Amino acid sequence: MAVYAVTGSASGMGAAVVERLVAAGHRVVTVDLRDADVVADLSTAPGRRDAVEKVLAAVGGRLDGAVLAAGLGPAPGRDRPALITQVNYFGVVELLEGWREALAAAGNAKVVVFSSNSTTTMPLVPGRAVAALLAGDAERAVNAYRIFGKSAPAMAYGGSKVAVTRWVRRRAVEPDWVGAGIRLNAIAPGAVLTPLLEKQLATPSEAKAIRSFPVPAGGYGDPGLLADWVIQMLSPAADFMVGSVVVVDGGSDAWFRADDW
């Protein structure tokens, strides 16, 4: 039996990961806004500190792995870019920084961070917002999205996922991480039918963009299929996998970028 922490466990892909881990006999400490072992709001710094400390207390300072699935999709609203930034970027990196020693204590821990294929398929994501996030400056990142007007939440989503993916790839190869036996990788789903996508499909302007987005396999992904990939990335099959981004998106990324390899 291994011990895992999973954020975003109450819904969608995080819930599907938890279901599989528990069915395989593992112990999971769940983190979410509701229906979780650790109820914490990852959009605030105190909420993130609480999540770090309560998980560490629950697992006795040793974690075999973690899955960071909590996230917010683009939705209309003035405050949305800031919220997306806090949850999707800081809600990943601050938790992993706080759990690093516990992951190192396991000797061969695996971490999977939820990125998105918007990292490679969304044009115009401002590089200065990504740079600001990697420097830890949320305010500067959010300011960089303002000029996009109604598209600011979408840009904040893309920016948060690019930044969190770069953070994963930079840290993955550092002595503190891979040198401590921690395998840090990301999964980049395309459109997967979860409550997050359902909310976007219920917003007419976003639904139009999502429906016109090319998905060569057709339709939307199933959360369980994405969870199966995460389980593989938590297994010994990932012992030689470091800083990888696994794209599971029905072919959208290949459709846009077949030759960018």
Q: Cβ closer to ligand NAD: 2 or 68?
A: 68
DSSP string across 177-214: TGGGT-EEEEEEE-SB-SHHHHHHHTSHHHHHHHHTS-
Q: Does 120 bind ligand NAD (CB under 6 A)?
A: no
Position among 12, 65, 158, 243 found at the interface with ligand NAD (CB under 6 A) = 12
Cβ 221 vs Cβ 198: under 8 Å: no
Residues 6+ apart with CB under 8 A from 204: none
Residue 77: which residues within 8 A CB-CB, separation 6 or more?
A: 153
157 carries an active-site annotation: yes
- Please identify which residue in 89, 90, 99, 114 interacts with ligand NAD, judged by CB under 6 A: 114
Contact residue for ligand NAD among 29, 42, 67, 156 (CB under 6 A): 42
* Nearer Cβ to ligand NAD (106/125): 125
Catalytic choice (4, 89, 145, 157): 157
How far is 214 from 256, CA to CA, in rounded Å?
Answer: 9
- Which positions from 219 through 258 interact with ligand NAD, judged by CB under 6 A? none
CB of 88 to ligand NAD, least distance (A): 6
User: What number of CA atoms fall less than 13 Å from residue 246's CA on the CB side?
Assistant: 22
* Contact pick of 2, 129, 168, 192 for ligand NAD (by CB under 6 A): 192
Q: Does 13 bind ligand NAD (CB under 6 A)?
A: yes
Residues labelled catalytic = 157
